[in-house]
């Protein structure tokens, strides 16, 4: 970030403030911590001032903000400050909500504070905060009430409401999400307040059973694809939908034998297959989940190609396509990947029911099954091949020795269903 500057005769009270040095017009080089700030003397007092940190990063817009701030002070007799004060940021509830939404969208004024989260997680955080704001409307005007005015009674009222609406696990997630909102205001926006959600009783949630699939159950699901009615009746107008797709069996088998997430399996290409110096084959795919969490690019995970998986790939055209960039599953697709993912998920549930199985399993259970069997062979090395993967580097035919050893061991010894 470039150094902020003031002209020779700047607007009255406008300064360049360093947040790190905590002084005006510092000669430091902490340019990334510099902002414009205005100091306005309170009439009738000796030394009292009201200050505001500017949003603008250029001088002329900062002047406009300073003028508007002074007008607001005058209109409110220097007593009611809706935005910022000498005590730090102080927003109305609705303005604080807007700030948080901007932050989650990566619109922070400072590069080191830009947030990178998934659309789903962002929507979840906003949804729970919106519930809190709707609850506050019963007792407060969120347009004018200050965020600092949130009391323990407001938290208690919301907790009672959420406890009636949500199951225990969702209640914990809801309270934690709103706590994150206030943590943002305190840590990022530097509002001088205590987090009203810092203390609350979390619900005890029992860990769910890890449902896996055995060989007979999986074969029955595949058989159901051939014999069970593929048509289902949707709600509303009673529309009929065909759940059958010609790629279902291959898709389910790929999920089982790779243990990949939906986007990883559906977007597998023949060009993702590599061969180690020992001749062991494996998939190398980008680990999108870890990339998102770490905000880094090109982090890979490696999937060993054991005998079962190799035989499936042969059936699907390995010899013909091994040097191509074609998709392995549904290569002639005319729909988006997400459409194929949804079809596979819904079809698995449909044909699982059609097989007569009462066990509540889904497409995700195939990944759990894979990792369960992998753990039988790999033990503590399972994480190297799991979704949390590794930082191993592949350059041409070179792999981190730890990863290479794990891939070779996996390719030789892993066998789903034993």
Q: What is the pLDDT of residues 182-210, one digit of tens each?
A: 999 888 888 888 899 998 889 887 766 66
Q: pLDDT class for 115, splitting at 50, 70, 90?
A: low
Q: pLDDT class for 388, splitting at 50, 70, 90?
A: very low
Does residue 390 have a pLDDT over 60?
no
pLDDT in tens, 263-307: 999 999 999 998 887 788 889 888 877 777 666 777 788 888 988
Does residue 351 have a pLDDT over 50?
yes
On average, the pLDDT of the chain sits at 82
Q: What angle do helix axes 215-227 and 337-354 make, rounded to 10 degrees?
A: 100
Coil, strand or helix: which one is 63? helix
Counting residues of the chain whose pLDDT is more than 90, the rounded percentage is 34
Distance CA 394, CA 406 (A): 14
Q: What angle do helix axes 215-227 and 248-258 make, rounded to 10 degrees?
A: 170
Does residue 416 have a pLDDT over 80?
no
Does residue 87 have a pLDDT over 60?
no
Q: Higher pLDDT residue, 411 or 369? A: 369
Does residue 84 have a pLDDT over 60?
no
The bridge status of strand 88-89 relative to strand 84-85 is antiparallel
Domains and CATH numbers, the chain: 14-86 (no CATH), 93-187 (no CATH), 215-413 (1.10.443.10)
Q: Which residues pair with 303 in a beta bridge?
A: 283
Distance CA 322, CA 315 (A): 12
Q: pLDDT class for 320, splitting at 50, 70, 90?
A: very high
Q: Which residues contact 146 (CB under 8 A, 6 or more apart)?
A: 82, 90, 91, 92, 93
Hunting for tokens 């209109």 — which residue is that?
A: 75
Q: Higher pLDDT residue, 2 or 393? A: 2
Q: How much is the pLDDT for 141?
A: 87
Q: Which helix (H) or strand (E) holds 303?
A: strand 300-304
Q: What's the mean pLDDT in 10-18?
A: 88
pLDDT in tens, 38-52: 888 888 776 677 888
Q: pLDDT class for 373, splitting at 50, 70, 90?
A: confident
Q: Which residues pair with 39 in a beta bridge?
A: 51
Q: Higher pLDDT residue, 192 or 241? A: 241
Q: Higher pLDDT residue, 218 or 189? A: 218
Q: Which residues contact 84 (CB under 8 A, 6 or more apart)?
A: 51, 52, 53, 69, 90
Q: Higher pLDDT residue, 61 or 28? A: 61
Q: How much is the pLDDT for 247?
A: 95
Both tokens of 376, joined, read 């039988």
Whole-structure pTM over 0.85, yes or no?
no
Distance CA 215, CA 54 (A): 64
Distance CA 290, CA 370 (A): 20
Q: Which helix (H) or strand (E) holds 393?
A: none
Both tokens of 352, joined, read 């699982």
Distance CA 296, CA 298 (A): 7
């Amino acid at each position: 970030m470039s150094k902020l500057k003031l002209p020779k005769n700047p607007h009255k009270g406008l300064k360049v403030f360093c947040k790190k040095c905590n002084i005006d017009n510092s000669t430091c080089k902490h340019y990334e911590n510099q902002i414009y700030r205005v100091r306005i003397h309170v009439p009738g007092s000796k030394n009292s001032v009201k200050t505001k940190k500017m949003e603008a990063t250029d001088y002329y817009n900062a002047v406009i903000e300073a003028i508007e701030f002074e007008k607001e002070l005058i209109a409110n007799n220097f007593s009611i400050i809706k935005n910022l004060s000498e005590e730090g940021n102080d927003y109305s509830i609705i303005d604080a909500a807007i700030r948080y939404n901007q932050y989650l969208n990566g619109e922070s004024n400072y590069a080191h504070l830009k947030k990178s989260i998934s659309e789903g997680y962002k929507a979840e955080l906003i949804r729970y905060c919106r519930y809190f704001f709707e609850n506050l409307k019963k007792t407060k005007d969120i347009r004018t009430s200050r965020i600092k005015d949130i009391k323990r009674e407001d938290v208690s009222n919301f907790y009672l409401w959420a406890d009636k609406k949500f199951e225990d696990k969702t209640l914990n997630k809801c309270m934690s999400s709103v706590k994150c909102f206030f943590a943002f205001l305190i840590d990022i926006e530097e509002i001088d307040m205590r987090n009203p959600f810092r203390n609350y009783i979390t619900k005890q949630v029992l860990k769910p059973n890890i449902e896996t699939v055995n060989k007979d159950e999986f074969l029955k699901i595949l058989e159901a694809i051939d014999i069970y009615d593929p048509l289902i009746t949707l709600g509303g107008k009673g529309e009929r939908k065909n759940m059958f797709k010609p790629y279902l069996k291959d898709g389910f088998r790929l999920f089982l034998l790779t243990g990949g997430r939906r986007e990883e399996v559906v977007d597998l290409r023949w060009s993702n297959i590599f061969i180690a110096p020992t001749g062991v084959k494996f998939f190398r795919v980008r680990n999108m989940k870890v990339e998102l969490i770490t905000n880094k690019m090109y982090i890979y995970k490696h999937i060993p190609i054991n005998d079962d998986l190799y035989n499936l790939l042969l059936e699907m055209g390995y010899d013909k396509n091994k040097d191509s960039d074609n998709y392995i599953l549904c290569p002639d697709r005319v729909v988006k990947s997400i459409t194929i993912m949804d079809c596979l998920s819904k079809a698995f549930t449909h044909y699982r029911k059609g097989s007569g199985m009462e066990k509540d399993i889904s497409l995700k259970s195939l990944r759990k099954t894979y990792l369960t069997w992998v753990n039988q062979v790999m033990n503590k090395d399972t994480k190297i091949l799991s979704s949390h993967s590794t930082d191993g580097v592949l350059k041409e035919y070179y792999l981190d020795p730890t990863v290479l050893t794990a891939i070779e061991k996996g390719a030789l010894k892993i066998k789903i269903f034993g």
